[in-house]
Amino acid sequence: MLVDYPAGKRRQGGQADDYLITAISFLEDNFTDPACTISELCQQLGLSRSYIYNLFRNKTERSPQQFLTQLRMDQAKELLASSDLTVQAIAHSVGYNDSFTFSKAFKRYQGLSPKSWRQIKNAGN
């Protein structure tokens, strides 16, 4: 279930920074939910996709999608390294509806499949 972020939480001064802080908080609080998308972020904040994109690019040098993916992949790497959960269970716990999509995204992000990454990490311990 997505945590709601009403527009009323924003202040007028330093508005761009406030929007960014609220956007980051929303993504951090909701990234494990498959319903957490950049479109949902835009809707929750009442901001256009292009405004949020430019805000993230200017302040973090990443797109909002890259930021969301990093949150999901960092959590996935932690779970792969520290648990015996299946790749499918990890995929679901970091906001992916299916393990195939998760595995493709993980490989694109990390350069290795989740299974290979886990084997390498476990071999190093």
pTM across the whole model: 0.87
* Nearest CA among 3, 80, 13 for reference residue 45: 3
d(CA 7, CA 12): 11
Distance CA 103, CA 88 (A): 9
Listed in sequence order, the residues at least 6 apart from 40 whose beta carbon sits closer than 8 Å to its beta carbon are 2, 30
Band of residue 5 on the pLDDT scale cut at 50, 70, 90: low
Q: How many helices (H) and strands (E) does the chain have?
A: 7, 0
Mean pLDDT is lowest, of 9-13, 61-65, 103-107, for 9-13
d(CA 69, CA 73): 6
Return the H-helix or E-strand segment holding 44: helix 38-45
For residue 1, the model assigns a pLDDT of: 61
List, for residues 16-72, the tens digit of each pLDDT value: 899 999 999 999 999 999 999 999 999 999 999 999 999 999 999 999 999 999 999
pLDDT at 123: 84
pLDDT cut 70: percent of the chain above it: 89
